A and B are shown apart, each in its own frame.
Chain A
Amino acid sequence: MLNYVTSYLSSNTTPGQAGNVLWTLIYILIVFGGVSVSVIAMNWLERKALAHFQIRLGPMRVGPHGLLQPIADAIKLMTKEDIIPAEADKFVFMLAPLIILCASFAVYIVIPFGPTHAITDLNIGILFMLGVSSLSVLGIVMAGWASNSHYPLIGALRSSAQMVSYEVAMGMAVVSAVLMTSLHGLGPYGVGVGTSGTGTLSMIGIVQAQQEQHVWFLFKFFPLGFIACGIFAIAMVAETNRAPFDLPEAESELTAGFHTEYSGLRWSLFMLGEYAAMMAVSSIAVTLWLGGWFRPFPNTLTGQTWDLVFSLFPGLTFLGLAAIAFVGVVRMPKHAYFRAQTIGLVGFGAVLGLIGLLLFVPPVRDRIQDIFWFVAKVAGFMYLYIWYRATFPRYRFDQLMKVGWKVLLPIGIGVLILTAILGVVL
C-alpha cells in the first residue's frame, strides 16, 4: 500500500497516466481547492487593483486591507435568500450554474502545472479543453432561457453568439500552435533549434515540444506565433465574457445579462465559474505560447548556478509578499481600534514568510518550481484582465461580431496558412 502511494512520487508521469487512482484523487482535490482559493484571491486582487486604478482604496474594512472581504462576501452569498422566479423553469434554472461550474472546472483536468503536475495528460488535451469550455455556452443559454425574462434572454443570446463566434478564432490560433509542435523550422529569425518532432494535441506534449525546439511558441516564426497568441488572448477575453467584451453582462444595458434573476449561492456559482474559466483559458495560453511550466531562459542561462538562482524565485516572491505585508503593518494607524487588524496582518505576513522559507528547502523547491512559474505566467494574464477592465469601454454587439468574424478569424486563418508554409519551406 505504501508502495502504491510512493510509487507515483518517484515516477515521472502524471497520476492519471500512471493509473494511480489515489494520487489522481489527491490531485483533483488539490486542483479544485487551489482553483477555488485562487478565485477568492483573484476576487480580492481584482477589487484592490481596480480600486487603485480608479484612485479608490477598495475593500478596507473586513480584515487588514480588506483581506477577508471575499470570505465575508462568500458567507453573505451563501446565507442570502435564494430566489427562484415564479415563472422560471425551475429545473433548468437550477441546473444552469452547475453546468457552467462543471465546464469551467473540467478544463483543469488537462492543464499541466508541471511535467508531472497534472491530473492527467490526455492525448487530445487541447481538443478536450476546447470542447469542454464550449459547454459553458450551454449553461449560459439555459440560465437565460430558464429565467423567463427579457434581459436575461437577450443576455444569453448575445453571450452564446459571442462565445460561438470567438471559439472559431480561438480554434484557429490554437491550431497554429499545435502545428508548430510538428514543424521544426526556425522561422526567418532563427530562434531556437530545429528538431524533427511529431505533432501532438497533448498539453504536456506541447510544452515539451517547446522545450525541444528551445523556443516559446510566442517567438516561433517570429511575428506568426506572436499574432496567434494575440488572437488567442483577445478571443479568450471574449470567451470568458469579460471587459471590454462583457456584453452579456453589460450592466448599463442589460442590468446583469443572463444572471439577472439569480441571487445568493447560485449567482456566486456563476461568478466562481467565470473566474475559474478565466484562469483556465489563461493557463491554456501559457501552455501553448509561453512555455508552460518552464522558467525563463531555460536554454540560454543554463548551468547549476542559474538553476539555483531561478529556483530561489518562488521563495523570494513569498518573502517579498511578506515584506509588503510588514510594510503594511508599519503603516497601520497606531490606534487601539486597529489592533486586531494589525495583528491579523502580522499573522498574514508571518504565514507568507514561513511559506517563503519553506520554499527554500531543496526537495520542496524542486517540486514546486514548475508550478510557481506556471502560476506566475497565468497571474500575468489575470492582471491583463483587470487592466482591460479598468481601461476599455465596452464594445457594441455588432462591433464585437465584426471584430470576431472580420478581423480575428481572417488573421487567424492567415497565420495558420503562413505557419504551415513556413514550416514546410524552412
Chain B
Amino acid sequence: MGAGQPGDRERPIIMTDRIMVDPKTTDAKTSDAKTADSTRFLSHLELGEPDKTFLDTNELVINMGPQHPATHGVLRVILKLDGEQVLGTECVIGYLHRGVEKIAENRTYTMFNPYVDRMDYVAAVSNGLGYCEAVEKLLNIEAPPRAKYIRVILTELNRLASHQLWLGTHALDIGAMTPLFYTFRDREEILKIFEKYCGARLTTHAFRIGGCQYETYEGFEQDVIKFLDFAPPKIDEYEELLTTNRIWLERTKNVGVISKADAIALGVTGPVLRASGVKWDLRKAQPYAAYSDFDFEIPIGANGDTYDRYTVRMEEMRQSLRIIRQAVGRIPEGPIMAKVPKVMKPPVGEIYHSIEAPKGELGYFIVSDGSTQPYRIRVRPPSFVNLQALDIMVRGALVADVIAVIGTLDIVLGEVDR
C-alpha cells in the first residue's frame, strides 16, 4: 500500500496485515486446470506483479463484508483490486460459528436432530434427512417405505424452496429486483405445506430417526398436487424475466468460469459441479431414501459459468417437480416409523452418509462409542467447500462479478460457519 491510495488520506486501511503479497512470478502455465499446480492456488493472496505501465495504478484493498448487502450473511471477502479488476480474494469466515459439532458431542442422537436444521436454514429438511439417514445407517435400521416417500416429497419441495431463494437473491445481486418478489411469493406456498405438515416453516425438524414423526395431514396430497400445477408456470415466468434478457446474459455468461478439472479438484459439488459438465448427482449415483424409484434427469452445463449454473438450477427445479409428481401419486400405505429403541445406543463404529442437498453433497461422518451420545459428528458442508472455489472463479474479473459469483455459489453462511 503505497502512497496515493484513493480515500486513504488519513489512515491506513485496516486488515492489511492479512494480505501477504508475494512477488512470485506467476508461471504461464496454459493448463486447463488452474489448480493443477497447487502451489499457485492458495487461499491467501499470492499475487504476481500487475502489468506495469508508466501510468501505473496502485492496488486497492477493499473489505467486502461482513456487513455488506451482497455477501448473503456475514461473509467477509477481502478483495485486492487493480482499479476494478480483482487480483485476488481472501475469504474470512467464522462469524456465525456456533460449534455445532461440539454441541453434538454433548447431546443424544435424538436431541441433536433439531440442531442440524440450523446449519443450512434455507434447506432445513435436507439437513434433517441427511442426519436421520446417517444415524439410521449407524443403527442398521431402515425407515419404512411410506416415510421414505414423505421424505422425498418434502426434501424435493425444500430443494425447490432453496433454489427459489437462491434465484431471488442472485437476481437481486445482479440488479434485477423483481424476481426476488416472485420467488418469495412462490416459496411461500412451499412453506405453507411445511407449516401444515409439521408446524414450522423454516427450521422444520420434519423427520425423526427411523422415519417421520407425523403422519401426513389430511389433504397433503391435494396441496402438493395443487402446488405442482401452480409452480411450472411460475418457473417459466422467472425464465421469461431472465433467461433471454440481454443484460442478464452479459452479466452471467463467461463470468466466474470454473473448469471441470478445477471443480473436481476443489471438491465442488451440487449445481456448481454439474454446471461444469460433470454429470454427477448423489440421488442417482448412490440413491438414498426412495430416489431409486423415480425417474429424473440430471441437468448439466457446458461452460461452468454463472449462466450455466443458473440454467442448471432452473432445470433442477423442474426435475424436482417431476420427482414430486411421481412420488405423490404412489405414497405407499403403512407405518411411518421403524422400530427404533427408546434409548438409542448405536454399536461402536463409524459411518459416513451423504445426500444431495440443494447446494451439493451434504455428508455426516458419525463416530459412535456405543453410548447414547455421538462420540463425534462431522458435517461435510457443501457451502463451505464450494466457497473455497470463489477465489479461482473471480481472479481477473471485476468487482461486480464477485457479487455475481458469490450469488451463484449459493452459500448459506449458517452452513459455512456451522
Contacts and interface: CB of A to CB of B under 8 A. Distances in A.
A389 interface: yes
Interface string A383-398: 0000001111111111
Contact of B251 (A154, A389, A393): A393
A394 B182 CA distance: 18
A252 B69 contact: yes
A55 B181 CA distance: 7
Interface of A: 50, 53-56, 87, 148-150, 153-154, 157, 243-244, 246-247, 250-253, 255, 389-399
B70 A392 contact: no
B68 interface: yes
A250 B175 CA distance: 8
Interface stretch (B5-13, B365-373, B374-382): B5-13
Contacts of B178: 53-54, 390-391
B247 A253 contact: no
22 contacts: A54-B177, A148-B9, A150-B7, A150-B60, A150-B62, A153-B7, A243-B175, A244-B247, A247-B400, A251-B69, A252-B173, A253-B403, A255-B69, A390-B177, A391-B176, A391-B245, A392-B247, A393-B245, A394-B400, A397-B84, A397-B400, A398-B398
Contacts of A253: 70, 399-400, 403
A333 B70 CA distance: 39
Contacts of A53: 178
B16 to A, nearest CB: 13
Contacts of B7: 148-150, 153
B174 interface: yes
Interface of B: 6-7, 9-11, 60, 62, 68-70, 84, 171-178, 180-182, 185, 241-242, 245, 247-248, 250-251, 398-401, 403
A399 B250 contact: yes
A252 B152 CA distance: 35
Contacts of B245: 391-393
A50 B174 CA distance: 18
A160 to B, nearest CB: 13
Given A148-B7, A150-B62, A252-B70, A393 B181 contact: no
A127 to B, nearest CB: 33
A87 B10 contact: yes
A87 B7 CA distance: 10
Given A154-B62, A398-B84, 12 more contacts: A54-B177, A87-B9, A154-B84, A252-B175, A253-B400, A391-B241, A394-B251, A394-B400, A395-B250, A396-B250, A396-B400, A399-B247
Contacts of A250: 175, 400
B176 A392 contact: yes
Contacts of B10: 87, 148
Contact of B247 (A157, A389, A390, A394): A394
A50 B180 CA distance: 13
Contacts of A55: 181-182, 185
Given A153-B6, A252-B69, A397-B400, A389 B173 contact: no
Nearest to B84: A397
Given A150-B7, A153-B7, A392-B176, A397 B398 contact: yes
Contacts of B247: 244, 392-395, 399
Contacts of B182: 54-55
Q: Which 6 A-B pairs have the closest CB atoms?
A: A394-B175, A252-B70, A54-B181, A393-B176, A393-B175, A393-B174
A243 to B, nearest CB: 7
Contact of A396 (B9, B171, B401): B401
A140 to B, nearest CB: 15
A404 to B, nearest CB: 14
Nearest to B241: A391
Contacts of B242: 393
Contacts of B62: 150, 154
A177 B249 CA distance: 33
A59 to B, nearest CB: 15
B393 to A, nearest CB: 15
A397 B81 CA distance: 15
Contacts of A391: 176, 178, 241, 245
B371 to A, nearest CB: 48
B74 to A, nearest CB: 15
B175 A392 contact: yes
Nearest to B185: A55
A54 B69 CA distance: 20
Contacts of A247: 400
Nearest to A54: B181
Nearest to B181: A54
Contacts of B185: 55
A396 B176 contact: no
B381 to A, nearest CB: 24
B92 to A, nearest CB: 17
Contacts of A54: 177-178, 180-182
A347 to B, nearest CB: 32
B172 A252 contact: yes
Contacts of B6: 150, 153, 157
Contacts of A246: 175
Contacts of B60: 150
A179 B400 CA distance: 40
B386 to A, nearest CB: 20
Contact of A252 (B181, B398, B403): B403
Contacts of A393: 171, 174-176, 242, 245, 247-248, 251
Interface centre among B7, B173, B175, B403 (most CB of A within 10 A): B175
Nearest to A89: B9
Nearest to B171: A393
A403 to B, nearest CB: 9
Task: Give the interface centre of A150, A247, A391 by most chain B CB atoms within 10 Å.
Answer: A150
Nearest to A151: B62
Contact of B181 (A56, A255, A392): A56
B68 A255 contact: yes
Contacts of A255: 68-69
A27 B295 CA distance: 73
A300 to B, nearest CB: 37
Nearest to A150: B7
Nearest to A251: B69
A247 B399 CA distance: 11
Contacts of A153: 6-7
A174 B182 CA distance: 39
Contacts of B84: 154, 397-398
A50 B177 CA distance: 10
Contacts of A148: 7, 9-10
A246 B6 CA distance: 22
A3 to B, nearest CB: 57
B65 to A, nearest CB: 11
A394 B9 contact: no
A396 B241 contact: no
Contacts of B399: 154, 253
A282 to B, nearest CB: 22
Contacts of B70: 252-253
Contacts of A243: 175
A394 B174 contact: yes
Contacts of A396: 250-251, 398, 400-401
